[in-house]
Structures are given as structure tokens and as C-alpha cells.
A and B are shown apart, each in its own frame.
Chain A
């Protein structure tokens, strides 16, 4: 069966520091992968999606970037965090019509 992992579970970072969040999927090959952000426990905003290694599409202009160095690994990064980057970050995999989410990373920028 397929499983999806996110690391770390929680993170507190100062403004201006770099960020790297990792997502890995097991039990499937060449999955579509997605990064979402959720603010205040409601509303999922799609940030990035990837249909294959090195292929990244950005949904909204922002301070973040994504990379897919391996088939089942998806990384969310920032060079300099802003206060507004705080939130709950969710990784998902699956076809566009049916996605499965990871456990999430709670990011607090101070």
C-alpha cells in the first residue's frame, strides 16, 4: 500500500532564515505530487505540483520554491522566510481527481 511521509512535523524558524520541508511517498511510482498550505485550520491553497522528476509548476507567486530531485521525493524550500509563511504545509500524491495527503508540517515563523 502507498504511504506518504512529511518531515519535520513541526518547525519554528526566525524571519529571514532558510526553509526545507521534505515529502516522500512509498509504494507507488511516478506519482503526481502536490504542496498545499493551510492557514488557520481552513482552506487549502495549492502551491506547487509536479508530474515527474524536475518538473514543477507553481500556482501562486510567493517566497517559496519546490524541487523534485527523485521520483518519490518532493521538497519545499525558501531562502528567506517571511512572517506570512507561517502555516500548515501539506504534501499530497495522486491523480488530479483524487489526492491523498500526508500528516503535514506546522511551520511557525517568529
Chain B
């Protein structure tokens, strides 16, 4: 079945640094979603991308829908301690329509 592969699996960075993570698949996706999960809470939708090549920002976060429709990138600029959490990419399966999730990228920020 369709899978989403996220990298890196984890990151430990200094406050103020920029962060980049990505999500790839061998299959085409028509929508890409990025979620953030704070410890002990449910995931929160950060950005939704609907068009190949689309670049969308939400504050310090910027996400791009890859032109091949097989990948997406999330960048965080000038990281702060509250950026800590797990970031998931997700997309609807072309076979079932249900959301498929990546395994997540864990971000830790050192003040």
C-alpha cells in the first residue's frame, strides 16, 4: 500500500536555528497535510497543500507541495522552544481516500 516516509526521524537543534524536514512517497498524492503534536496532546493541523508546486506559509512555518506530487517539505524558521513536538505529514490514499500518516519527525529545541 501507499506509504509516507519522513526524514529525519528526529532533530535536536539550538533555539534560533532554521529547521527543514521532508516527507516522500513512491506514489502520487493530491493533498499534503502537516500536523504538529505536542507531548500528550492530539495532532494539530498546521498547513494543508492542494496543488503541485504550492508554497504556503503559516507564521514561521512554510510548506511546499513537491512538483512531482511525491514529496512535501516543511521548514521552520528561527526555532523557539515551543516548536518542540512531533511533526507528521499526511495525505489521502488514492485507493481508499483515507488519510495515510508518516511516522513523524521529533523536534527538540535547546534554549
Contact = CB atoms under 8 A, between A and B. Distances in A.
Contacts of A49: 98
Interface in B29-73: 31, 33, 35, 39-45, 48
A48 to B, nearest CB: 11
A104 B41 contact: yes
Contacts, number: 47
Contacts of B33: 98
B92 A102 contact: no
Contacts of B35: 101
Given A103-B41, A106-B40, A98 B31 contact: yes
Interface residues of A, number: 20
Nearest to B39: A41
Contact of B48 (A46, A98, A101, A106): A98
Contact of A42 (B41, B98, B99, B104): B104
B97 interface: yes
A98 B41 CA distance: 18
A98 B40 contact: no
A43 B43 contact: no
Contacts of B97: 96-97
A64 B99 CA distance: 21
Interface string A85-110: 00000101000111111111010000
A15 interface: no
B42 A90 contact: yes
A104 B40 contact: yes
